[in-house]
Amino acid sequence: MKTPLNKVRGLGSAKEGVVHFWHQRVTAVALVPLVLWFLWMVPTQVGADYSAVREWIASPLTAIPLLLFIAVAFYHMKLGLQTVIEDYIPGHGQKIVLLMLSTFFSYGLAAASAFAVLQISLG
């Protein structure tokens, strides 16, 4: 004897929507001070020569927030792209391919950006 509940058990929500929602909100809140810092600090380097900017990035007071900004911004971008793809791409195969490409793109840009900052700050 099977009840309607027994037929659908295990076929419901993947229980990932709430985690995704909270990750988007937490990264958005974390980006507020990081973007404000970035918008306040970067214009101070306009017109500075290469060695001055390199010295500025090499400072731990700059490199650490810059790395945090990169990590949080690209993760937030990945989450946003995932939401757009899941909501607006109709084909399942297309959706999987685009989700993979957007993940590779987001993490690849984050890695390249972090590598650049680390290479400058560590010499």
CA distance 87 to 39: 32
Domain residue extents for the chain: 16-122
Going from the first residue of the chain to its last (123 residues), give the mean pLDDT of each consecutive group of 10, the final group possibly shorter: 58 68 96 97 94 94 97 98 94 94 98 97 88
Task: Specify the pLDDT at position 58.
Answer: 95
Report CA Rg, the chain.
20
- The per-residue pLDDT for range 49-61, each reduced to its tens digit, is 999 999 999 999 9
* pTM score: 0.84
CA distance 99 to 104: 9
Task: Specify the pLDDT at position 9.
Answer: 56
Phi and psi of 121, rounded to 5°? -75, -30
Task: Specify the pLDDT at position 18.
Answer: 83
Q: For the structural domain made of 16-122, what CATH number should be given?
A: 1.20.1300.10
Task: Specify the pLDDT at position 114.
Answer: 98
Task: Specify the pLDDT at position 50.
Answer: 92
CA distance 49 to 41: 16
